[in-house]
Amino acid sequence: MTEVSQNYVGGEWVSSETGETFDVQNPADPDETVASYQRSSAVDAAEAVAAAVDASDEWRRTPGPERGRVLRRAGTALADRKDEITEMLVAEEGKARPEAAGEVQRAIDIFHYFAGKAADLGGTVKGASSRDTTLYTREEPVGVAALITPWNYPIAIPAWKLAPALAAGNAVVLKPATLAPGVVLEIAAALDEAGLPAGACNVVTGPGSEVGSEFIRNDGTDAVSFTGSSRVGETVYEQATDAGKRVQTELGGKNPTLVTDSADPAEAAEIVATGAFGTTGQSCTACSRAVVHESVHDEFVEELVARAESIDVGPGLDHEMGPQVSAAELESTLEYVDIAQSEGATLASGGGRPDGDAVADGHFVEPTVFTDVDNDDTLACEEVFGPVIAVIEVDNFDEGLAVANDVEYGLSASVVTDDHTEAKRFVDEAEAGVVKVNEKTTGLELHVPFGGFKRSSSETWREQGDAGLEFYTIEKTVYDNY
Strands of 122-244, DSSP E = 125-126, 133-141, 144-148, 171-175, 201-203, 223-227
Contact 415, 428 (CB under 8 A): no
**To 10 degrees, the CA torsion angle through 15, 17, 18, 20?**
10
How many CB atoms neighbour CB 360 within 10 A? 11
Phi, psi torsion values for 480, nearest 5 degrees: -105, 100
Instruction: Please say if 284 is a catalytic residue.
Output: yes
Burial class (CB in 10 A: 0-12, 13-18, 19+), 75: buried
382 close to 230: Cβ distance less than 8 angstroms: no
d(CA 102, CA 195): 26
Residue of 201, 284, 287, 381 with catalytic role: 284
Pairing relation of β-strands 133-141 and 473-481? antiparallel
Strands of 81-152 (E only): list them: 125-126, 133-141, 144-148
- Beta strands (DSSP E) in 326-469 are 346-349, 368-371, 388-394, 409-410, 412-416, 434-437, 453-454
d(CA 403, CA 24): 40
Q: 144 near 169, Cβ under 8 Å?
A: no
Question: In sequence order, what E strands does 430-472 have?
Answer: 434-437, 453-454
Residues in a beta bridge with 24: 35
Catalytic positions are: 284
